[in-house]
Each structure stands twice: as structure tokens, then as C-alpha cells.
Amino acid sequence: MKDNGAAQILFALFVFCMFFTPICADAHAIKVNVQYSGFAFLGEHADIESQYNYSNQVYGFKDADGRSLVEKKLSEMVGKTEIKDINVIMGKLGQLDSGEGLAMAVALDWEDVAVEVIEKGLVKSVYNLHGQILIFDFVKMEVVACYPFGVRATDCTPEIPTEEHKLEIFKKLYLSDIAGVNFLDSLCSLLKDAKVKSNASNLTFKVEEVTLEPKAKDFIGKNFPDARKKEFKIFVAQQFSSFFAKNLKTSILPYTKGKAIGSKMAGRFANGDVFELTVPDGDYPITIAVRGFKKVKLDENDTGQSWVYGSYVRLIVKSALGDVVNSKIKNGAVKIVPVGQLTVADSSAFIESLLILFDKTTKQIETCDNDWLKKCAEGSCTGDQFEVLKQKINKY
């Protein structure tokens, strides 16, 4: 009897494995087909050349066969990138009328150079490139997933850099590197974890609002030229979204205020085709309230001074049922000012502090370190909120 019982159990296990193992293996192997559609510039067609002055010029550099060097390198890198859940179909660059399906564009949404004279004979320039991996339904022309990314590179020169020098820096950011920093490498690093979720589970996150409290408005007014004040909210939304996507390995819909009319996002493919995408509302809208900035002297001795540059925000993540996260968060970045330095680039130090805040905050959503929560947030209250948010991110 014992032998018969054992035989029956073994037979049942055999039948179970025979029916279920192939199904699991096939499900794991299935990838979503996405048509690669090339490089694009976000924004109104008439503004592309002025908005992306250097990138537009770099894209114009061609090989002996007349192909853009940027597009050539980008196509090669995307084609070689192993993506766990997506099969990128190459070879029909920019052709969006080939039938039903999904398309992917690498879209540039911000280019910037900030030049500051530190002292006589020393000029610091910060170069920024920010973009999005846009996955969209090319029949409905609607965004279904977005992975923002970006790079920053610092360059020091004895004089204010010429236009030729700036162009050369951007060329390196696309086609080679600066101290290991390359825009397309950053893209492919994020692309490895990109996913397109089913409609049933495609609940989305999106920075819907950036607000500036009075102390933050004072800071912006004193430290930024008029032309850049308008862009500060866009900068905040883009940078937070980038860290959110990178550190949590999840899609976040693009911030559209200041870049779109309503929920429409305009752009132009590098081959000249103009497009307009619909960006849906987020199921989990995010508000970043910039509360202010504060500079405090930490120490002073014969060699110089050390200052703490504090940045303060309130992070709010909502859902249909109410707030998921509503917490004050802060960060202090230390800057050493040597004796003899004539000027201090406060605005640059505050921006660095803010970016570190976004980086650490998005990492803490995953890890919830008690020491950080007590020092930089609202303790266990923030920790509990982050735990709920983490479960929602992992679920969807």
C-alpha cells in the first residue's frame, strides 16, 4: 500500500510539471515588440533650432555615407542592448504608419549650459542634457511608458568658453565621453529595465505639479536670470522624474506643463517628421513643493570656510483614495570655500543639494533607512508612507 501511495504521488507530480512548466517558461520568454523610431526633439517645430542649438548641430555631423553620427551610434547601441521585457525592432527608422503596434523614440527635452566665473582665471561651466525614452502607441499617438534620463558634465576653463568649445563638449557627450559621462550610455543603462505593462496593470506615476513657496521664489528671483526662472519648474520635474525612473526602475509619465498644450506633447523627429503625442493623466499624480533653500556656515579656519547648502521640499503622491505620501524632506550639501576664492557660486551649490535630495529620496522609497528618515524626513511617518508607495510601484 505504501508503494502504491508513493507511486500515485510521483505520477501526480509528473502530470503537474508536464502541464505547468512549459506555460511558465513560455510566459517568461514573451517580449513586447516595439518599433524603434529614432531620435527626436521635443517642443514646437519652430523652436527646435534655438531650444537645442548644440544638439541640433551635433546631430548634423555625418559619416562618409551621409548618415548622422548620432543616429548611427544610437541605433547600434539600442540594437545591442539586451532588454528583459522588450524586443526592439530596428530597420524602419521613423516610419510610424506601418500598422498597429508600439513605437519607441529617444526624445531630447532639455539642453543647457550654465557658466559661472569662480575667480580670475577660473570659469566653471555645467553642461546638461536631459531626455526621455518614450514608448507610445503609434496609432493612437498616446504615450504608454516613459523613462526619463540625463547627464551633467562640469568643465573648467581660464576664460568664458567660446561657442566652438561648448559645441565640442556636447559632441563628446554624444559621441565619446567626458570623464566617463556619455548621454547615450545613460540611455542604454536605463533601457535594460524598460517595460510595457498590460492595460490591466498599467497604473501610472506622473509629476503633475511643481509649486514654489515664498522662500523658494526669493531664491529663484535672486539667483536665476529671467529666462531661466520659467524653466526652473520644468527642471525640478524632469530631474525628480529621472531619479524616480533610474532608482526605482519604473516608468513615470512626462511632465507636460510648460512643454505642452493641455495633455499634448509636440516634437520633431530628426528626419523632419513632426508629431504630437497625447500624455494621459497619472493614476498617482506627484506634487513637488519646493519650500526653500538655506546657507549656513559650518566651520572656518586658516585654509578656508565650509558651508552647508540646505534644500527643502514637500513630496506629495496622491491616489484616487487620498494621499499616499505627504512628507517634508530636506538635504544638506557641504561646500568648501578655500581662502582666496573671490566668489562663491551659491546657485550651483543649491542645485547640487536639490539633486542629491531627489536621488536620496527616490532611493529611500526602496530602502527606508531609519537614520535617514529621522535626519532628513519625518521619521517613521515618512517611512510608513514610503512602504505603501513601494508596494504600489512593485505591484504595477
DSSP letter at 251 equals -
Q: What is the pLDDT of residues 325-373, one digit of tens each?
A: 999 999 998 887 777 665 667 777 888 899 999 999 999 999 989 999 9
Distance between CA atoms of 356 and 350, rounded to whole angstroms?
10
Distance between CA atoms of 94 and 44, rounded to whole angstroms?
18
Q: What is the pLDDT of residue 51?
A: 87
> By the 8 A CB rule, do 309 and 340 touch?
no
Distance between CA atoms of 376 and 287, rounded to whole angstroms?
18
Query: What topology does CATH give the domain 205-250+283-396?
Result: Double Stranded RNA Binding Domain (3.30.160)
Mean pLDDT of 38-48: 85
CA distance readout (Å), 374 to 371, 382, 390: 5, 9, 19
Give yes or no for residue 277 having a pLDDT over 70: yes
Radius of gyration over alpha carbons of the chain, in Å?
Answer: 24
Amino acid of residue 347 = S
Report residue 12's pLDDT band, with 50, 70 and 90 as the boundaries: very low
Of the chain, the percentage scoring pLDDT greater than 70 comes to: 84
Higher-confidence position of 195 and 26: 195
Distance between CA atoms of 85 and 192, rounded to whole angstroms?
9
The pTM assigned to this predicted structure is: 0.80
Q: What is the pLDDT of residue 342?
A: 58
Residue 267 C-alpha cell reads as 516634437
121: left (phi over 0), alpha (psi -120 to 50) or beta: left
3-state secondary structure of 178: strand
Burial 362-391 (b: 16+ CB within 10 A, else e): bbbbeebeeebbeebbeeeebbebbeebbe
From first CA to last CA, the distance across the chain in angstroms is: 49
CA distance readout (Å), 323 to 125, 153, 328: 40, 37, 14
Mean pLDDT of 289-309: 88
DSSP letter at 16 equals H
149: left (phi over 0), alpha (psi -120 to 50) or beta: beta
